[in-house]
A = this chain, B = another copy of it.
């Protein structure tokens, strides 16, 4: 194995030999900033996934190191992320009681399955599969998931025991009906925490900037808003013992110590139950990770190898499965912070992992009085930015079909749940695409003045001849639109009995599949039966190469293939 091929499968071989001292300080700083952000986020996302808070920290240690060794992205920050956490809760919630041993075991198994699937997809080079999910579907899915996530936190934010439901209307209705049971101290803490999370960044930036503090410190401090919310609220709850006096829910004991070695359960029935959810978590997690990785890589003219990413994320998830965590992916906000804080290599992620391991060894007693409402506030503020109205607005103006698939995905996720919702959206977007190509744009063209140019008779002043129909079809010919072309042509010919020649202008035809080829054979025969000759014009090179392998050109006779429409029309006495 050469160094080059090794570098492909083990990217660390590429960058480690060239690693410099300056890189290490940049990476350490970036790793520190991400760690400050990730400690409260990790616990919060664990809560969202229905897992104990420490599992979110476990998910931020070994998976980060493994991804760092294998990932092709220099700046992607892996760990627990909001949407995957929601999908874990949705997949496991139906099978076991939240927080039970069975629940934790199922989450481990999800990570294992997801890891295996990712590695298998990477080995089979199936990274391209995510291309079949359109942006409007992703946008609708993420917006709806963000809404579902935010509402799932209402019970913690209000200190209200809202029963689990996948319908947001049920959740809201319950909250309104039981408004009297709200724990108002908890609600006040939530509001204060959200305000602090939202305004901390701008305010500290402005104040520190005015004090002439350096850019890097500004970034570090402004990104510490979750940490600040955690510290302030912990002190307040501890000082007033709100947990005892008014029943504010707190995090309580978090076991100190490094992640445990765990073994996912080997229960084939459970495997089958979780497989569909694992497949979706795999796809959504990969999609999120690879889009961020690509965006960041292109800023530095680096490349991302999608299949290597699959393997790296797969191994990271296996790491999660065997160290008491749950499925991980690349996080958007976190990776942006890592990148802007100056991360040069995956060493930054490894620094983050070490710092989180230290904090779990040393600092967990400090989180005893942390109110869960603050973790929920961290989640809500993080996902609020995921609600994406801009894409809908743009799609609505640009292409209604795309807007429709966005809206359909959004409501499908809200009404049918995350899994069925995204599958519905993907299916619908494919059907809409096929539907569009099944009714291609067809233009009857005529000569512009006495030039050699031919344009749409509906858009331009052009000259035509009654005995020649010249039409251009603006789509490749394949099974879904071949009947349309056939019907269109035969209807035109049936309507106007003066037509003796049809010239099919093929300048926009990039491909003709077997169904369309058969259809052309049939159209030629049917037109001949009706006393009409078909001719082709402006056939592209690759299309012509394929047609020459068939008997179509013989079957076309006396019809001809012309290089240009002008040549065709001149030959057919239409000048």
A residues contacting B by CB (< 8 A) are: 128, 130-136, 294-295, 298-299, 301-303, 391, 394-395, 397-399, 401-403, 429-430, 433-434, 436-441, 459, 474-476, 478-484, 486-487, 490-491, 493-494, 497, 507-508, 510-511, 513-515, 517-519, 522, 526, 529-530, 540-542, 546, 549-550
Write the nearest CB–CB distance from A540 to chain B, whole angstroms.
8
Residues of chain B contacted by A433 (CB below 8 angstroms): 434, 478-480, 513
- Interchain CB contact under 8 A, A479 and B429: yes
Kindly state the separation between the CA atoms of A437 and B294 in the bound complex, as whole angstroms: 22
Question: CA of A253 to CA of B487 in the docked complex: distance in angstroms?
Answer: 48
Q: Are B494 and A302 in contact (CB under 8 A)?
A: yes
Q: Which residues of B contact A480 (CB under 8 A)?
A: 131-132, 134, 433
Instruction: Give chain B nearest CB distance to A508 CB in angstroms.
Output: 6
Contacts A128-B484, A433-B480 known; list 13 others, CB within 8 Å.
A128-B438, A131-B438, A132-B479, A133-B479, A301-B490, A394-B518, A394-B550, A399-B514, A429-B479, A430-B430, A433-B434, A433-B513, A437-B476
A4 to chain B minimum Cβ distance, whole angstroms, is 15
Looking at the complex, which one of B132, B295, B514 makes contact with A398 (CB distance below 8 Å)?
Answer: B514
Are B397 and A526 touching (Cβ within 8 A)? no
Contacts of A299 in B (CB 8 A): 526, 529
CA distance A295 to B303 in the complex (A): 53
Question: In chain B, what residue has the closest Cβ to A519?
Answer: B135
- Within the complex, the shortest CB–CB distance from A165 to chain B, in Å, comes to 27
Is there an interface contact between B397 and A550, defined as CB atoms closer than 8 Å? yes
Known: A399-B513, A441-B510, A550-B394. Is A529-B134 also a contact (CB below 8 A)?
A: no
Contacts of A490 in B (CB 8 A): 298, 301, 303
Can you list 7 A-B contacts (CB < 8 A)?
A: A131-B482, A135-B519, A295-B526, A298-B526, A394-B517, A429-B479, A433-B480
Q: Which residues of B contact A128 (CB under 8 A)?
A: 438-439, 483-484
Expressed in whole angstroms, the Cα–Cα distance for A132 and B482 within the complex equals 10
A510 near B546: Cβ-Cβ < 8 Å:
no
Closest beta carbon of chain B to A218's beta carbon, Å: 23
Q: Which residues of B contact A399 (CB under 8 A)?
A: 513-514, 546
The CA-CA distance from A132 to B135 in the complex, in Å, is 24
A487 to B474, CA, bound (A): 26
Specify which of B478, B508, B530, B541 is in contact with A301 (CB 8 Å cutoff). Answer: B530
For A303, list chain B residues within 8 Å (CB): 490-491, 494
Among A476, A487, A510: residue with most chain B CB under 10 A? A510
**Is the pair B510, A132 in contact by a Cβ cutoff of 8 Å?**
no
User: Chain B contacts of A513 at CB under 8 A?
Assistant: 134, 399, 401-402, 433
> Nearest chain-B residue to A392 (Cβ)?
B514
A301 CA / B528 CA spacing, docked (Å): 11
From A299, A391, A487, A542, residue with most partner B Cβ within 10 Å: A487
Contacts of A479 in B (CB 8 A): 131-135, 429, 433
Per the bound structure, the CA–CA distance linking A301 and B489 in Å amounts to 11
A-B pairs, top 4 by smallest CB distance, nearest first, are A134-B479, A402-B514, A135-B515, A298-B526
Indicate if the CB atoms of A398 and B517 lie closer than 8 Å: yes
A434 to B479: give the CA distance in the assembly, Å. Answer: 12
A132 partner residues in chain B, CB cutoff 8 A: 434, 438, 479-480
Task: State the Cβ distance, A530 to closest chain B Cβ, in Å.
Answer: 5
Assembled-state Cα–Cα distance A511/B475 (Å):
9
